[in-house]
Structure 1
Amino acid sequence: MHNTLTPWFSNTAKPVRPGNYDVRNVVNADETLVASWDGKQWFRAGRSKENSYPLAVQDREWRGLTNRGRRAANRFAETT
């Protein structure tokens, strides 16, 4: 089975596209959280921009969906 997540990217690399990503906790790298990248900075993912806030530490390791993962997510969204 193919992985639907990309490898982890370094904290100095930033995503090319805005969206939600897994980011590593800066205190405990075994923990992750979902953060939203707006093209300039990371925000705690919320249901709306008003419910989000910028993360205190902006340099974070992150990973996103592979093409396979995006297709699966799109199929799921179409059925809900």
Structure 2
Amino acid sequence: MCHLPGEGGFSAVAEAALTPRELQVLWHVAQGDTYARTARCMGISVHTVDAYLRRIRTKLGVATRAELIRLAMAPGDGRPGR
């Protein structure tokens, strides 16, 4: 069963930088969903999920999935020491 993301819950930097669709992909990843499950839930291909995540990492300036989730879910602007 696929769940829909709730409103908010992301850092201010993620909310400001990402499109609603990118936030939806990010929500699935933050929930621990695989690329395949994310693709199935969103009605897109696994390759599209990968493309979204590459674009999200570029926009947020992070290199790994772990950094992405930490930044996206952090309170405030998501940056350490700010």
TM-score, normalised by the number of residues in structure 1 = 0.26
Task: Give the structure with the higher percent strand.
Answer: 1
Task: Give the structure with the higher percent helix.
Answer: 2
